[in-house]
Homo-oligomer: A and B are copies of this chain.
Amino acid sequence: MKEELNTFFGIFSGTKDAIEKFMNMLDPVIQNAKDDHERLYYHHIYEEEEQRLSRLGSLIPLISKFQKETDDRAFSPANNEFNKLLQELNLEKFGLHNFVEHLDLALFSFTDEERSTLLKELRAVTYQDYQQVKTYLQEINDMFDTDYTDPHAHHDEHHDHLAPQNFQTQTIQTPRRKGFTVGSLL
């Protein structure tokens, strides 16, 4: 479980920086929007990412706390804080998914080289992060074999459109994250 927590910590710390880069890109677009529709559109996406950033402000310290936890019994559905961790991770799995789509939407409009290069980089990393978090959460939930059920599980079935091969401008390969082994969950 420690290894998964280390990966989660890296992913969610990294995505915090990515959100800020994206918000900085949106800021002048909102300022200079050509009409109310365009302004609301970018402002809305900005706000959703701002909400996510704010939630990460409580998730990341919670991950840290479990990284330092030495009592194995804490990693149990009997521990409310562990349940909270799993719930928040599940929510932020969807946060990553939605971020991929915000980036994809931006790629349709920000076609200049500077912005599209950055967007593609953020998109590639975020897509990998989403897949990694999804895989780990599935394994963790299976392992604990608890009453905990992913309220969004049905949702993922519809997400093939997120696959990189379906995305027209997906060309960037990012280095794989630090190696991890699946199976050492406890």
Q: With A170-B36, A172-B40, A174-B31 given, is the CB distance from A182 to B16 under 8 Å?
A: yes
Contact with B along A39-51 (1 / 0, CB 8 A): 1110110111011
Contact with B along A41-78 (1 / 0, CB 8 A): 10110111011011111100100000000000000000
Closest Cβ of chain B to A111, distance in Å, is 11
Q: With A47-B155, A182-B56 given, is the CB distance from A27 to B172 under 8 Å?
A: no
Q: Taking A30-B172, A57-B151 as given, write out 9 further A-B residue pairs in contact, using a Cβ cutoff of 8 Å, ordered by the A residue number.
A: A36-B168, A37-B108, A40-B172, A44-B98, A53-B185, A54-B151, A54-B185, A55-B151, A91-B91
In the docked arrangement, what's the CA distance between A56 and B91, Å?
13
Can you give 17 contacting A-B residue pairs, CB < 8 Å? A16-B182, A24-B179, A36-B172, A40-B108, A40-B172, A43-B174, A44-B98, A44-B101, A46-B175, A47-B101, A47-B158, A50-B155, A51-B155, A54-B155, A55-B151, A57-B185, A57-B186
* Cβ-defined contact, B57 with A105, below 8 A: no
Closest Cβ of chain B to A101, distance in Å, is 5
Report if A127 contacts B (CB, 8 A).
no
What is the interface of chain A mostly: helix, strand, loop, or mixed?
A: helix
In the docked arrangement, what's the CA distance between A48 and B161, Å?
15
Q: List the B residue with the shortest CB-CB distance to A30.
A: B174
In the docked arrangement, what's the CA distance between A175 and B50, Å?
10
In the docked arrangement, what's the CA distance between A152 and B58, Å?
11
Report if A94 contacts B (CB, 8 A).
yes
Contacts of A31 in B (CB 8 A): 174
**Most chain B CB within a 10 A radius of its CB, from A46, A57, A98, A182:** A182
Contacts of A129 in B (CB 8 A): none
Report if A34 contacts B (CB, 8 A).
no
Contacts of A175 in B (CB 8 A): 27, 46, 50
